[in-house]
Every structure is written in structure tokens, then in C-alpha cells.
Amino acid sequence: MRKRTLSDDGLNLFLNGMTTLPPVHWTKRLFCHLFHSNYDERLYDVVNKCRESTQGLCAYFFAENMQDRLDAGVMHTIRLIVTRDNKKVKKRDVEKNFRFFLDIMENAHKQSDNQTAHMMYLALTHPAIQNIDMKRPKRTDNVLSKIKYGAPTYRNHIKYWRSVRSDDILPSLIAFKIFIRRCEFAGKDHDAEEAKEMMEIFQYLEHRHSEILPIYNQKKMSAVELLRLAKKL
């Protein structure tokens, strides 16, 4: 495994692009240095940055460009898996990248960061990735099976959210956006308004100063572009 888990581009989009670090008690830092590998430390950093980013995104859920930002997050995660700084990579590098983002998804899900878990799930199960003939971790299917948001309507996630009473649980903005759009299209205004009210509370929580990952600020890519990149492997 290479010394750095992410490419330069990946570091910029998931780590270096943010200026602040989450507060970590000195004992946690000591523990990480004593018992964790560089891989564990990088994974820990990315998962925490992703969680902070989800909080920031929630505060701006109703922004006009939010759907584009969510789409860009998924697309550029796929790009990072199949390329290294926009250059062709070997299949073993794709396998390492797949494992790393699978670990991000699993850990984000354990921390109830549903947005990050959902984004990683959509990236890892995208045809551009699924069509690649590569070795995947044996636990892949088991981990993916735990990420259930009720596609394509995502009504299950909204139903679940009615019972949430903790600020530690973060929603999937992807699921909420799609659910609201489908309800409005189908004329189910009551359901759409209920979902909007669930998200409105985040406008009043102290998340507006949480930094949003640069990956959400990239230009959207098309599915054709992604498939073309993956075909190079």
C-alpha cells in the first residue's frame, strides 16, 4: 500500500481544502500515534471532516445550488477512485481506493453521518465502478447491505427521520432532496412540506460555520465522462 492513502487531488478535496481541524483531546492523539497506522489516521481525519461538512451542508439545505453540489460530491468521489490526479492508474490502485472509500462509508454510517455514507454508497455502486473487473474486500456486500435509505423514493429515510430525537444523527441530504422533488412532482404537497420542515431545523442549529468539503464545490461531471474514465482500466 502506498504511503499516502489519497492522491494530491483527493487530499485537496477531502482534507487540505479545509482550514480547520476537529478538536481532538491530547490523549486521543497519543492513542492514535501509538496504536494506529497512517491509514487509520487518514481515515479518522477524513471521516471527521466529512461529518463536519454534512453539518454545514444541512444548514444550507435550501440553497439553489444544493442539488448540483450533492451530485458533484458523488461524481468526483468516483473520479478519485478510478484516477490519480486525473491520470490513468493501475487496477491495484483502484482496488486500494475502493477499500478506502468503503471504510469511509462504513465508519460514517457507524457515526450516523447518513449523508457521507449515502454519498459513498452511490459512488461505490455506480456502474462506472461496478463494471470494473477488480478484487473487492470480502466484506463489501455485507457493508453495502447495511446502507438502506429506501431508494428510489427514499420514503423509508423520511419515515425513520420522524423518530430521530438526537442532534448526533445527521440526515442524508441526497435522500431528502430526491424525496421532496418526487413528492412535488406527484402532487403530494403535504409529504413534501413535512420533509422540508424536518430540514428547516438545521437552519437554526450552530452549523453555519462548519466548513464544507471542497468536493461539493466541484463542477458536475456527466455519467458518460465517468464511464469513459473507468473504461481506461
Cβ(61)–Cβ(173) under 8 Å?
A: yes
Please provide the size of the chain in residues.
Answer: 233
Report pLDDT for 226: 83
Amino acid at 121: Y
CATH fold for the domain made of 8-13+27-204+211-231: Son of Sevenless (SoS) protein; Chain S, domain 2 (1.10.840)
Could you tell me the residue ranges of all domains in the chain?
Answer: 8-13+27-204+211-231
Q: pLDDT, tens digit, for every residue of 64-111?
A: 999 999 999 999 999 999 988 778 788 899 999 999 999 999 999 999
Report pLDDT for 21: 40
Question: Residue 118 contacts by C-beta under 8 Å, 6 or more apart in sequence?
Answer: 147, 149, 172, 174, 175
CA angle 172–177–179, rounded 5-degree value: 95
Decide: pTM greater than 0.85: yes
